[in-house]
Structure 1
Amino acid sequence: MGKSITLKNSRYTPVILHIAGIRGVTAGTGNRRSAGLRKDGFIFVYRTAALLLAAALLTAGCGGSGRADTEDSAEAYQWLDDYEPVSREPLTLTRWETDNLEDLERAGEIFEQHTGVEVRLQILTWDDYIKMLDRDFAEGEDPGLFRLHPYFAQKYIRQGSIRNLSDMPFEDLPELTALQTDTIMSIYRMGDDIYGIPLIGGVCSALWYNKSIFDDCHLQYPDAGWSWEDVADAAAIIQKSGKGYDGIRLSDTNGEEGYYNIIASYGGYVINDIATESGMAKQETLQAMDLTADMIREGMPSYEEMQTSAIYEDFIAGKTGMAILGSWRVPSLLDNAYALEHMDCTVLPFAETTGIRGAAINSSCWSMWSGTGRAEDYWNLLRTMTVYTIMEKGNTDEILPVSAREKKKYADGGFPFHLEAYSDLFQGSPAVDPVNRVQIPWSLDTDTWNRILIRSMRKAWKDPDHMRQYCTEAAAEINEALEQEGVQYSMAYIRRDSATAACCIIDTDARKIRYFADGGKIRFTGVYTGDFENGAAVSYGSSGIEEYIRFRDPGDPGILLVRDAFGRTWTFEKTDLREAFELIRSSS
């Protein structure tokens, strides 16, 4: 059992973190700058105090070896002994997530042992994390090796705050290269330039349930054969059982643990994949939100009751029958005695009208500030983290953010929950397919329209009878926000010389082209090299399709000529982006 560490300072409010099986107060908020507290009001972890203390306690009371790496693994880090750091000043790892801290700590210890450079781990709340990045980038201060999230990645990349990592020695990290799938990396690439590096395959959600509550209400446990309609029925039975349970809790502020997956299963969307239009008023989305409204009315507590407690806390306290939980919750569930005895999970349900499951995929990446002078140091720290992951966990492509300690603990008997639900949804399985895997919605300025969406969903959670009205109003406001945001894709072209219209949406910043035809049913995303005055070669990735594109008259962007893979040449006329997409939809 982990030991309790309390590091008290009257100037700070304690924050509980989990490091290597130890629960300790190792962080706080305050309002001064010092060697340990760089930012006003931010939560952080002291490397030199709390983490070394944690390591010492592990050695003394938890069976630790007291060494950062064993003789068997030391050879894996021999390259670090030959590395000469750019600076001997401490390095900082900055993130908002609190999972896997022990693995980062161990990797930091290994890096320090071989290089003599101290590694500090800084943990912030989500809101303060964004404030810190905004302030650091504006003031020209290095935030360290930090996490980049889909919600704000494009904003920071396009404003020039994120370092292009394409010149880094990727040959040293083939395992990371394998993680750079189209689904994950579409947000973190601008043409051939790379601005983020994943360390795990990504995250998604699963349906969790309380077995004891289902037993008490004489219900069968959810499984892969359940639809969202089955979930709604079970939630209503639990809610109305008179036994004090809530049927289900869905988040109105975090779509990944709320309605994103339901919308995807019905074939709807929050915003389209070129960020020009909201889908909240589309029929498929409205059908999904009708089902959501049914669960709010019949299977959830009153809105006033929901404001007094958090979804996850109520679930692990045994008050709720079901919840949609992201894979980032797994470490804390594995560490919760009540959850281990009473809970389990299964894949997300399908929609009865489509027979398809929806899975909203999210993957954050490690990134660096464009003005950093220590890119090589951060890169080698990232390489150390990767080697540690491979040495201790055997791979980097898993989507469960479990620590090496937890993975080894359950190596023989398997995890106590059916955690394959996450990998089946993320990677695919005959038992659960078909799955509509969608990246969580994002744009150049996600925060603006997401605030609109949250405001509307709060109204809908309070008044589910008018769900459709709030969704429709949200769509109109989001469309205005997207228009104000500016056209991400700076040029749009429509093809009118065939029976079925097609369009090309060109983002000159990202050197990316998206091609749509047949009402948007045919779609490819490619990157181009060269320019349109002299000719640009376009590669559409895994599809194997290649094209050649140029302006008909150099210097005049009015007409675009596209020579396809079959040698045919098509003529595209420049048009307004919204008009282009409207024409495509109307042609289906």
Structure 2
Amino acid sequence: MHTQRISGQAGQTGRRWGALAAAAALVLGAAACSGGSDGKSAGGKVELTYRIWDSTQQPAMQKIVDAFEATHPSVKVKIQLTANQEYWTKLQADATSGSAPDVFWMNGPNAQLYESNGMLLPLSDKLAANGVNLADYPSSLVSLYQHKGKQYGIPKDFDTVGLWYNKKLFDAAGVKYPDDTWTWQTVQEAARKLTDASKKQYGILAPAFGQENYYNTIFQAGGSVISADGTSSGYDQPAATAGLKFWTDLIKDGSSPSLKSMTDTFPSQFFESGKVAMYYGGSWNSSTFAKNSALKDDVDVAVLPQGTKRAVVIHGLANVAYAKTKHPDEAAALVAFLGSKQAAEIGAKESGVIPAFNNTQQAWVDATPGFHLQAFLDELPYAMPYPTSKNTSVWQTQEPITFAPAWEGKSDVGAVAQKMADLMNTALSKEK
């Protein structure tokens, strides 16, 4: 996703999204502007602009656009590639000036900000006419792009998190590989057995990452990060403390490197060094690990171990249309096609991400043989939407800062959880 994936991971789709903490006022000012592409191309066709942020996906996106143009001969689509590091800043500026692209990629943390400020074209009344059935996508992903009863985005792709493990280290320690019977206790026991201080070998990595780590364990403990109505934090609940403590305990007993070590060396790179037995990582890691010739034959992945229940965070992109596009019908048609089965099948084979359209994911699994990537799909029945609010970044950027003392062993987990709840509730109260 990705850049710092919403909590701290780097990966291929460039999804560790840039913050828009100060964007609301600017976006509000943009609502009165006209925008989108100029109108007609030199050939008399309607010209639409489509902005993306991942160069590795551009060839696949171009093939999908070509397929759209073949069935919509009166429309020409121009792809705009903007690097992830600049994407959100540029989009904010373009929305403010009224020159945002007709169609563009959107993510969960920023969706409500754009939706609530009238910057996205409502699609609800355009779905049926364009052959879109929201039941064709995971419901937990669809809900990320709904606001006040309206649908603003059509899911493009998604990611979930699995337990990556090093088979070589497991074999050497005589520990059985992870499977769907594993629980938190199994992980803790295995991590201790797989740790060998004399070899500087660790059983697991426990960074303070939300999407990859503590969001999952909070959900597995029966807790929440944010209330269903988006008005209050879940960090002041015992389940949240339990979900956080799972990770701090792993550092405390020496099964994981220290927070400083995981800051100096990014966790996925730590795992790739072959000195760590387990890593909670995303589906996005598969392509990177597959390219590591020294690692690819030694690692595999399983579904996440369960706490009091099974749960995993799901996140993914959606395609959206600019509210002030001069061509709302054509833009809506493009968004619909980008989320179609045909587009998903192209993307599954060539983009490296899991397509959101149900039952099109097998091509993604088959594209990277050697890993049990089916694990990421097996988790869909209990997937939980990535926690968001109108101004997600305002409170989310405070999580690693607030939790750091607990990860360093300098503060009580419950105390930092309460502090985060207070910060978050203050931020949420200003969103009303």
TM-score of the alignment, normalized to the shorter chain, above 0.5: yes
- Residue 147 of structure 2 corresponds to 190
Q: Does 1:120 pair with 2:79?
A: yes
Q: Deviations over 1:264-315 (max 9, x none)?
A: 1111222211222222221122122222211122221122222211112222
Partners of 2:410 and 2:283 lie apart in 1 by: 28
1:293–1:464 CA contact under 8 A, matched in 2 = no
Q: Which amino acid aligns with 2:324?
A: G
Partners of 1:445 and 1:205 lie apart in 2 by: 24
- Residue 396 of structure 2 corresponds to 450
- How do 1:305-454 and structure 2 match up within 5 A? 305-351=261-307, 354=308, 356-385=309-338, 386=340, 388-389=342-343, 392=346, 397-398=357-358, 415-427=369-381, 435=382, 437-454=383-400
Q: Which amino acid aligns with 1:142?
A: A
Q: 1:99 to 1:342 in 2, by over 3 A?
A: farther
- How do 1:230-269 and structure 2 match up within 5 A? 230-252=186-208, 254-269=209-224
Shift of residue 344, structure 1, vs aligned partner: 0.6
Select the structure that is richer in helix: 2
Q: Please give the secondary structure, in 2, of the residue aligned with 1:341.
A: coil
Q: Please give the secondary structure, in 2, of the residue aligned with 1:257.
A: helix
Q: Which amino acid aligns with 1:226?
A: W
Shift of residue 390, structure 1, vs aligned partner: 5.5
- How do 1:51-62 and structure 2 match up within 5 A? none
Q: Deviations over 1:323-382 (max 9, x none)?
A: 11122333333444344301111111112xx2x122112232110111112344444444
Q: 1:338 to 1:190 in 2, by over 3 A?
A: same
Q: Please give the secondary structure, in 2, of the residue aligned with 1:417.
A: coil
Partners of 1:226 and 1:181 lie apart in 2 by: 25
Partners of 1:453 and 1:17 lie apart in 2 by: 24
1:197–1:365 CA contact under 8 A, matched in 2 = yes
Shift of residue 187, structure 1, vs aligned partner: 3.3
Q: 1:387 to 1:294 in 2, by over 3 A?
A: closer
- How do 1:165-244 and structure 2 match up within 5 A? 165-168=123-126, 170-174=128-132, 177-179=134-136, 182-200=139-157, 202-244=158-200
2:247 alignment partner, one of 284, 289, 292: 292
Shift of residue 479, structure 1, vs aligned partner: 1.7
Q: Please give the secondary structure, in 1, of the residue aligned with 2:397.
A: helix
1:398–1:423 CA contact under 8 A, matched in 2 = no
- Residue 34 of structure 2 corresponds to none
Partners of 1:237 and 1:277 lie apart in 2 by: 40
2:204–2:278 CA contact under 8 A, matched in 1 = yes
Q: Does 1:106 pair with 2:63?
A: yes
- Residue 547 of structure 1 corresponds to none
2:233–2:425 CA contact under 8 A, matched in 1 = yes
Select the structure that is richer in strand: 1
- Residue 584 of structure 1 corresponds to none
Shift of residue 121, structure 1, vs aligned partner: 4.7
1:163 alignment partner, one of 105, 109, 121: 121
CA RMSD across the alignment: 3.1
Length-normalised TM-score, structure 1? 0.59
Q: 1:106 to 1:236 in 2, by over 3 A?
A: same
Q: 1:102 to 1:283 in 2, by over 3 A?
A: same
1:183–1:439 CA contact under 8 A, matched in 2 = yes
Partners of 1:256 and 1:210 lie apart in 2 by: 21
Shift of residue 207, structure 1, vs aligned partner: 0.8
Shift of residue 100, structure 1, vs aligned partner: 4.3
Partners of 1:400 and 1:330 lie apart in 2 by: 18
Q: Please give the secondary structure, in 2, of the residue aligned with 1:92.
A: strand
Partners of 2:239 and 2:366 lie apart in 1 by: 44
Q: Which amino acid aligns with 2:90?
A: M
2:205–2:278 CA contact under 8 A, matched in 1 = yes
- Residue 27 of structure 2 corresponds to none
Partners of 2:262 and 2:392 lie apart in 1 by: 26
- Residue 475 of structure 1 corresponds to 421
Q: Deviations over 1:123-181 (max 9, x none)?
A: 432x533222221211111234222222111111111111112343534434x533355
Q: Which amino acid aligns with 2:221?
A: Y
1:266–1:284 CA contact under 8 A, matched in 2 = yes
Shift of residue 98, structure 1, vs aligned partner: 6.2
Q: 1:475 to 1:187 in 2, by over 3 A?
A: same
Q: Deviations over 1:469-510 (max 9, x none)?
A: 211211122122222222xxxxxxxxxxxxxxxxxxxxxxxx
1:86 alignment partner, one of 46, 50, 67: 46
- Residue 24 of structure 2 corresponds to none
- Residue 431 of structure 2 corresponds to 485
Q: Please give the secondary structure, in 2, of the residue aligned with 1:323.
A: strand
**Structure 1 alignment gaps of length 5 or more:** 1-15, 19-82, 428-434, 487-588
1:328–1:400 CA contact under 8 A, matched in 2 = no
Shift of residue 192, structure 1, vs aligned partner: 4.7
Q: Does 1:282 pair with 2:234?
A: no
Partners of 1:372 and 1:342 lie apart in 2 by: 50
- Residue 463 of structure 1 corresponds to 409
Q: Deviations over 1:395-444 (max 9, x none)?
A: 85359978x5x66657xxxx4222221122113xxxxxxx4x42221111
Partners of 2:197 and 2:359 lie apart in 1 by: 36
**Structure 2 alignment gaps of length 5 or more:** 1-10, 14-42, 350-354
Q: Which amino acid aligns with 1:373?
A: K
